[in-house]
Chain A
Amino acid sequence: MLYLLYFGGSFGFSANLRTICSMSGAGKNVKFFDFNWKSQIWNLIFLIGGLAGGFISSHYMYDGKTANISQNTIHDLQKLGFSAPDEIQPKELFSREAVFSLKGFFLLAVGGLMVGFGARYAGGCTSGHAISGISDLQIPSIIAVVGFFIGGLIMTHILFPVIF
């Protein structure tokens, strides 16, 4: 983070989603996207670097270990029908078959929509609010993070048992 600030950026990933909208020409009819997206190229390059980093670490630095997830979590998720975490993502949600099923498609699509909409409505995501904002002791960021958790907790504890 210090590096990014030092290089003149500001740490916040979700702003990239807005930049992509702007690039695709959304600025013509929606003022929110009518900004100089070229000024955000650094953030996009950072994003592409992140993608490459993900590729490098999983293809060339992979040690065959899977995440050491808490037994309680594995147990709770099994009750909902999720298999043990032998991959990074559960195949019940992220396999091709799951995505091409109506429910699977719907879950990821709605989830993504909420991430994109919520991040902009709240003015930031995990990196912008939880990490940068709280580091700077900004009250709105603390409130936003409480909001993230209320949403996440309701989803996990109340809606998950209904959905799965």
Chain B
Amino acid sequence: MSKDILNKRVEDASNKTLYNKITFGDLIKFGIVGVVFGIVFVKAEIISWFRIQEMFRFQSFHMYGIIGSAVIVGMISVWLINTFNIKTIDGEKIKINKKPFTLGTIIGGFLFGIGWAITGACPGPIFAQIGTGATVIILTVISAIAGTWLYGLVRHKIPH
């Protein structure tokens, strides 16, 4: 079972040939969405290390409110997509990747949580953090890339 899951993950990434040839329009499109996200990350203060600490200390509703509303918007989106059979801009069917459950979901999740609490960084806002001028966070990014690489290296040796 675990081998299938490992192979599936490789396929999931390789099958997205949709944007194999990226056009100038795509560039603008995703670029703009990215800029909007970056601004929202800063304005909503989710790039703040202090906000993450607040969350893990259950001392403010701030992060829960943001994640909660994102989930609600997400649920409505999923419902709309399924109900009205919404296609992507290129007419492809939208499918949301099913995440497999493995032992890694627990262990990996646990490790991620520890790292999240120290660095105050998720892999998305981390780039907006650098954008704000916190250049030392490049160190966190490099180690996160190293961590990803390490996973790729040992994934067949660790339980899934």
Contact = CB atoms under 8 A, between A and B. Distances in A.
A139 B101 contact: yes
B88 A57 contact: no
B109 A45 contact: no
Given A5-B77, A6-B86, A54-B42, A147 B108 contact: yes
Given A58-B42, A61-B43, A125 B152 contact: no
Contacts of B53: 73, 77, 156
Contacts of B141: 112
Nearest to B67: A130
Given A55-B132, A69-B54, A70-B60, A40 B16 contact: yes
B156 to A, nearest CB: 9
B30 A54 contact: no
Give the secondary structure class of B's interface: helix
- Chain B, interface size category, equals 35 or more
Contact of B145 (A20, A72, A124): A20
23 contacts: A1-B73, A7-B33, A21-B149, A36-B14, A42-B30, A50-B125, A54-B129, A69-B51, A70-B60, A72-B59, A107-B118, A110-B143, A115-B121, A116-B123, A120-B147, A125-B122, A126-B116, A143-B109, A149-B56, A150-B110, A151-B117, A154-B113, A157-B57
Interface of A: 1-10, 13-18, 20-21, 26, 30-36, 38-43, 45-59, 61, 67, 69-70, 72-74, 76-77, 85, 88-90, 93-96, 98-99, 105, 107-141, 143-157, 159-160
Sorted from nearest, which 4 A-B pairs have the closest CB atoms?
A53-B38, A49-B34, A151-B113, A147-B109
